[in-house]
Amino acid sequence: MWKNLTTRSKPLQPFELEALTGRTALIAGATSGAGLQLAKILAAPCARLIITARDPQRGQQAVEDILKSLPNDTSKKPQIDVWPLEMESFQSIRDFTERLLLLPSLDIAVLNAGVWHLRFARSVDSFETHLQVNYLASCALSLSLLTVLGRGRSSPNSHPGRLLNVTSEGHSLEETPTGKTASEILDSFDNPDALSCYQRYRKSKLLSMIWTHELASSIDSAALGVEIASFTPGATQTQILRDLGAGPIVRTVMGFFCQSAEEGAWTYVRALNTEEYHGRYFFRESAYRPTDCVTAEKYKLFRQDLVQKTVAILRSHNSIPSEIYEKLGISPDGGFPK
């Protein structure tokens, strides 16, 4: 909290954004809040920007807002596309992935879409919504993106593609899964009385942190030409406050403690611009150590079990084309490559 009160992220200088010039970037969750502000920042240097939207009208409104935000001296406007994506639907994820696989190149992908609801609810696929949106959908998308990021690189020495998975510092407040299996943790979401809304949110983000760490540890980053990292901007004014039912007075008070959406967006850019990137967890503008169960050796078997159970769910719901598993060397039992 003190860090949020005493520091605010500042815009980078134009020369610091040169590495983004001419790139193609994708942001899942960019119609409001920090995601929209990030899109506005990336639109200036990037040649193409793809944003996802559940609602096509909101997506088009976001495009208009992004174009209006471009500096007057922008010589060439980027191509901005809105792709439909409903994270609560595996069919929507499958449709999105099949379109994604047709891209000739992709340099940056930010998985920013997420939910935090007060009341228990299920997705169209009958999973609890925090589990599906914040975890399962992001897992499916991350696997798909690994096969596309880095396409079009002119040489092995050119910039690798970068995947940034947006999580939450709240993951560190969630209790470790000592003595519990991955199935028990996943099944706990299915019981409306087992977890509070805060626990559902934090636990879904913790699982996402574990998945991202295991995925980053399993790939040959240099050979694949892709780097993966987890990130949280810290307390930021976003649509989630409204989703949680916060009134105007509460939002005003929280505004004192939280950075603005634009300030939060600059922390994304700083993370994406960091030289030592792969496998790291960024909290705001610095690399941090996540909670123990994400990296500690004593939780290794739990993490492997979680990966296997998760891949089994993704396979059973046909969430992504089967050839993606083959390309990434994921075994039939769901294990990541060693």
By annotation, the residues acting in catalysis are: 168, 201, 205
Q: What is the crossing angle of helices 197-218 and 300-316, to 10°?
A: 100
Max Cα-Cα span within the chain:
59
**Complete DSSP assignment for 92-142:** HHHHHHHHHTT-S---EEEE------SS--B-TTSSBHHIIIIIIHHHHHH
**How far is residue 11's CA from residue 40's CA, in Å, rounded to a whole number?**
12
Structure tokens at 248: 């105007």
Q: CA end-to-end span of the chain, whole Å? A: 39
314 touches 136 (CB < 8 A): yes
Following CA atoms 240, 245, 250, 255 in sequence, which dihedral angle do they give, to the nearest 10 degrees?
A: 10
Phi and psi at residue 203, to the nearest 5°? -65, -40
**How far is residue 20's CA from residue 159's CA, in Å, rounded to a whole number?**
10
> Tokens 């009958």 sit at which residue?
126
